[in-house]
Amino acid sequence: MLGPEAGPVRSAQGPAALADVAYRDARRPDIVLVPGGIGTRVLVAETEFTRWLGEWAASAEVVTSVCTGSGVLAAAGLLDGYRATSNKRAFAWARAQGPQVDWVPEARWVEDRDRWTSSGVAAGIDMALALIARLHGDALARAIADGVEHEWHRDSTWDPFAAKNGLAPGP
């Protein structure tokens, strides 16, 4: 977990998460995961942060996001020239962060080369399991899904929320 400084980082809702390492001290990553949430609206406007993120994450083996974290990746230029998705209720906002991104409105998650983006939180769990399967095999991903009692949706195109939010035709 990274933050502006090591130590507690307060969320927009109040509770704090503990950042182990300050941004400036972060080693080059293998995998980057940018979460979503209301705090992403502020982060995209912090040019020092998006510049740092763009430089730091560019060499990662895999760059991922959940929910509106894709808007942060887009603002940092990390999705330019890639296909990506985001939370359906905030899709227009995410799209506005990256005009050079090929935004996919109907997708549970999108894998495009070394970039993986998901819709909402549950879709992020499915995406993470798909990534684990890609990196470490299907058996491990299935065991993790079973261990947390999660019904894993393996079809990245299964997205009933796109239609519910006016981003795709209804049934």
CATH code of the domain containing 75: 3.40.50.880
Residue 168 falls within a domain, yes or no? no
Give me the pLDDT at residue 170, please.
81
Kindly state the average pLDDT of the residues 15-36: 96
- pTM as predicted: 0.95
Catalytic residues: 67
Distance (Å, rounded) from C-alpha 113 to C-alpha 61?
10
The parent domain of residue 157 ranges over: 2-162
Residue 171 falls within a domain, yes or no? no
Residue 16 falls within a domain, yes or no? yes
User: How many of the other CB atoms lie within 10 Å of CB of 20?
Assistant: 11
List, for residues 85-108, the tens digit of each pLDDT value: 999 999 999 999 999 999 999 999
List, for residues 104-145, the tens digit of each pLDDT value: 999 999 999 999 999 999 999 999 999 999 999 999 999 999
